[in-house]
Amino acid sequence: MLVKDIMTTNVITVKKEEKIENAVKILMDNNFSGMPVVDDENKVIGIITEGDLIYRSKKLRIPTFFTILDSYIFLESMKNLEKQIKKMVGYRVEDVMTADVITITEDTTVEEIATIMTRKKINRVPVVKDGVLVGVVSRRDIIKAYAR
């Protein structure tokens, strides 16, 4: 069985410029745990999930450092701290979304997508054709397919 046979094609999306509050409202109103973030050409540029939103409540992790002659030497990249802060206090979807999105095509098999989802610990995968969003496959879609 192929993904095109089970995917949801009426996909609700959000733009990266959207306010976090609006994205949360869309998720709650539709009982979703995540949705794709698309650009003006409907190309997938990210995904925003409950996990991304919960991240905002986590404890900030300060990089490990030591001092020499009253100077701080960080043992880790300050970029990671910057990313953490941006994601925790972000105002727009682009601040908190996951930009490294796994996508699939319509001819991916259900077995392949199930394997990807379990290995990567993800709940939904956008389906693209020529880079443009055409659907989404969620764990629920796979379970429904097996129930048939």
40-55 tens-digit pLDDT = 999 999 999 988 777 5
Res. 58: pLDDT tops 90: no
12-31 pLDDT tens trace: 999 999 998 899 899 999 99
Compute the Cα dihedral for 82, 18, 138, 55 and give only its sign.
positive
Domain residue limits at 70? 3-147
The domain that contains 56 carries what CATH number?
3.10.580.10
Split into its structural domains, the chain has a count of 1
CA distance readout (Å), 52 to 31, 49, 60, 98: 16, 5, 14, 7
DSSP characters over 80-117: HHHHHHHHHH--BHHHHSB-S---B-TT-BHHHHHHHH
User: Cα 105 from chain centroid?
Assistant: 17
Other Cβ atoms within 10 Å of 132 Cβ, number = 11
62-101 pLDDT tens trace: 555 445 555 555 545 656 655 655 555 567 899 889 999 9
pTM for this predicted structure = 0.76
Mean pLDDT of all residues belonging to the chain: 83
